[in-house]
Amino acid sequence: MNRPEQPPVDSTPAAGIISAFHFDAEGKARSLQSGEMTAALNSPYGFVWVHLSRADIRCRNWVEFHAPLAEVVREILLSDEDHQRVEVYGREIVGVIPELHLEFDNPTEELTRLRFALADRLLVTMRRIPLRSVENVRRAIAAGTLYTTPIELLDAIIDHFADVIGKLAERIGNDLDAVEERIAHGPRGNESLLIARARSQSVRVHRQLSQMRGLFHRLELRVIGPLPELAAPVQSLAQKIDDFDHSVAGIHDRARLLQEELAGRMAELTNRRLLTLSILTAGILPPTLVTGFFGMNTKDLPFLDTPGGTWYALALAAGAATLTYFAIQRMRAL
């Protein structure tokens, strides 16, 4: 990235920052006001969390000209690539991970991206639209929750994301429970749509979690050398993501099996209806043939001059229908 020699005039450290906290050695957070950022970053105690908007040019300027991070880390934070990644550069970790959108304080299931950079005493997070997990962590901080290290704070953000995914998986599982109950008592017509929606949601989340799981498992090995103190927290994060990914994968498999069971039930129901229709058709065909024969209005028709001939013809049609019915039943029994 080519950086200009002089930064724009509005790129002062605190300009455009959504929120910033300085955590002391005990993990207690203090919100940073305008003009306090430089002193907090230079403090030998605790660490700083800075949360930024990627849509604000002042935040991008702060990252580019003032964030105490390696240049390659700043480039990843400011890049427009949205594919998931977690990289280690020296003693700094930078990544792009999935998150859930928060729209006007209303939770949604729309997946977006959270960018983060983690250093010894600094955590920088960036987003384009409001995020649920970040907002939950900010509320936890306001309630007095303590965070003693940047990796612990990042773990909390990912943990809140995992909790939301867990609730989503639980809701999808409850929907599948209802569908399974309805299938057991006879399909009503819209079960296929409900199962397809559950499969779509579980596939979308599973794809994101599986990629995220792979990234953090690889990160376990990459931090052992430069950042051995992060090996245990990163391993815990990877295991946590594993658990939720397995849960979502199980829901996807269950939805697939339910879809197959529903398809089998519908095929069985269709076959029964076709069999009923076939029996009715076969039973009606002989009497129709008899009545058609006697309705030809040709000379020398049987029973034409016989008293009660109509009843004889009716008995013949009924007999043909009965004989056909028993013949079909015998064929089914073979």
35-87: per-residue pLDDT in tens? 788 888 888 889 999 999 888 888 888 888 888 999 999 999 999 888 889 99
Structure tokens at 215: 């990234």
CATH architecture, range 1-148: 2-Layer Sandwich (3.30)
The stretches of 185-229 forming alpha helices (DSSP H) are 191-222
Whether residue 184 has pLDDT greater than 90 = no
| Angle, in degrees to the nearest 10, between helices 231-294 and 309-333 | 150
The residue type found at 94 is V
- Assign 11 a pLDDT band (cuts: 50, 70, 90): very low
CB neighbour list of residue 234: distance below 8 Å, 6 or more residues apart: 151, 216, 219, 220, 223
Q: Kindly report, as residue ranges, where domains of CATH 1.20.58 are found in the chain.
A: 275-333
CB 176 within 8 A of CB 255: yes
Across the chain, what does the average pLDDT equal?
80
* Calpha distance 287→309 (Å, rounded): 16
Tell how strand 85-89 and strand 29-31 pair up: unpaired
Whether residue 90 has pLDDT greater than 70 = yes
Whether residue 119 has pLDDT greater than 60 = yes
What is residue 15's predicted lDDT score, i.e. its pLDDT?
57
Mean pLDDT of 208-232: 85
Please state the pTM of the whole predicted model: 0.69
Mean pLDDT of 95-113: 70
CB 204 within 8 A of CB 249: no
Which region holds residue 27: left if phi is over 0, alpha if psi is between -120 and 50, else beta?
Answer: left
CATH of domain 275-333: 1.20.58
Whether residue 125 has pLDDT greater than 90 = yes
Question: Across the strands, what pairs with 19?
Answer: 51
Mean pLDDT of 206-222: 84
Mean pLDDT of 198-210: 82
What is residue 320's predicted lDDT score, i.e. its pLDDT?
76
Q: Kindly report, as residue ranges, where domains of CATH 3.30.460.20 are found in the chain.
A: 1-148
In the chain, the N- to C-terminal Cα span, in Å, equals 80
Share of the chain above pLDDT 70, in %: 86
Mean pLDDT of 299-324: 75
Question: Across the strands, what pairs with 107?
Answer: 102
Burial class of residue 174 in the structure, from the number of CB atoms within 10 Å of its CB (0-12 exposed, 13-18 middle, 19+ buried): exposed
- Assign 313 a pLDDT band (cuts: 50, 70, 90): confident
